[in-house]
């Protein structure tokens, strides 16, 4: 998905404001299994996923807990770094070769102070990301593993074949054995 489309899906901008964001954004290639946002570090960038799949997780003792996945067209960021400029708790890695657009958070915030329209775009971005976090929480609290599996399947059915079963099981909060049972019941 192209940068213009991703930006405009967040909140439509006029061409002049759109150009200001594009001018501070660069496209990068990230090889498979590369960490590009690391826990306990302040991320300097906000990423827009042009193509590929990413995993968002945190480390708990000796275990990785998958919070979610990033798919084409989505925003990938450490919310603490984006909002407060502080260290994040999540790690994000590429599950396949990915193409990303990255925008320095500092430069984006400079645009917020210069353009009310871009500041409103940034507010909308924060609202969307907050709602994604809330949705993940509500699913964990009120939906069964089977329902969460169906939700994930409906969102990206073909891409799920590219994600390790252990990652999906961790995301659902179940063992791989339970995930196998869920998958066999779905077929």
Q: Structure pTM?
A: 0.90
pLDDT averaged over every residue in the chain: 93
**Domain shared by 147 and 134, yes or no:** no
Taken in order 71, 72, 74, 78, the sign of the CA dihedral is: positive
Residues 55-84 pLDDT 10s: 999 998 888 999 989 999 999 999 999 999
Kindly indicate the confidence band of residue 187, based on its pLDDT and cuts at 50, 70 and 90: low
Q: Record the tokens describing residue 157, joined without a space.
A: 């059915």
Domain limit, last residue, from 115, 139, 163? 139
How far is it, in rounded angstroms, from Cα 153 to Cα 145?
Answer: 12
Residue 157 pLDDT more than 80?
no
**Domain shared by 36 and 56, yes or no:** yes
The tally of domains found in the chain comes to 2
How far is it, in rounded angstroms, from Cα 162 to Cα 147?
Answer: 20
**Domain shared by 22 and 62, yes or no:** yes
**Domain shared by 105 and 167, yes or no:** no
**Domain shared by 91 and 172, yes or no:** no
**Domain shared by 133 and 63, yes or no:** yes
- Which residues span the domain enclosing 173? 143-187
């Amino acid at each position: 998905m192209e940068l213009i489309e991703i930006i405009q899906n967040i909140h439509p901008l006029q061409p002049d404001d759109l150009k200001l964001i594009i001018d501070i954004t660069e496209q990068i290639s990230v090889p498979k299994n590369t960490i590009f946002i690391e826990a306990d570090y302040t991320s300097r960038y906000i990423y827009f996923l042009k193509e590929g799949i990413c995993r968002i997780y945190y480390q708990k003792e000796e275990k990785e807990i998958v919070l979610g996945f990033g798919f084409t067209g989505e925003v990938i960021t450490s919310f603490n770094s984006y909002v407060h400029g502080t260290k994040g708790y999540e790690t994000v890695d590429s599950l396949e070769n990915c193409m990303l657009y990255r925008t320095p958070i500092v430069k984006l915030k400079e645009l917020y102070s210069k353009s009310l329209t871009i500041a409103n775009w940034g507010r909308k971005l924060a609202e969307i990301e907050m709602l994604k976090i809330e949705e993940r929480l509500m699913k964990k609290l009120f939906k069964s593993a089977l329902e969460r599996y169906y939700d994930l399947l409906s969102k990206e059915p073909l891409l799920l074949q590219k994600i390790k079963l252990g990652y999906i099981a961790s995301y659902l909060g179940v063992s791989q054995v339970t995930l196998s049972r869920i998958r066999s019941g779905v077929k």
